[in-house]
Amino acid sequence: MADKIYFTITGTGFFEGDEFFEKDMEVLLEKEPDNKYDHEAILVKMPGIGKVGHVANSCSTVIGESYSAGRIYDKIGDTAVGKVLYKMPRGILCELVKPVDEIKF
């Protein structure tokens, strides 16, 4: 990937919270086409835990230079891998590191 793609994990409070997130942890992104609230929803999972949040998909939830779920939806396969960069009060800032179906959680 030539340019880095950043994304924000939101909605962690609906799952297991955000206390366990640490820098350099890998997360799995999984398209969620059957999501009744957002047809471009991307679920975020972690091994051993399962669902931990969603990729932010609105201007009020993305942090800094993050891409929204809608902007990365067509850049990845059904799954992709991200790496945690920063845990912030409004969400978890991550970088997309593997935009293809390489890892299964």
Judge if pTM exceeds 0.85: yes
CATH of the domain at 10: 3.30.70.2330
Over the stretch 18-33, which tens digit does the pLDDT of each residue have? 999 999 999 999 999 9
Number of neighbours of residue 87 by Cβ within 10 angstroms: 17
> What's the pLDDT at 99?
65
For residue 41, what are the CA distances in angstroms to 11, 19, 22, 28, 79?
12, 23, 23, 13, 12
Please check whether residue 1 lies inside any domain of the structure: no
Our count of domains for the chain comes to: 1
Show the domain range for 50: 6-98
The CA distance from 1 to 11, in Å, is: 27
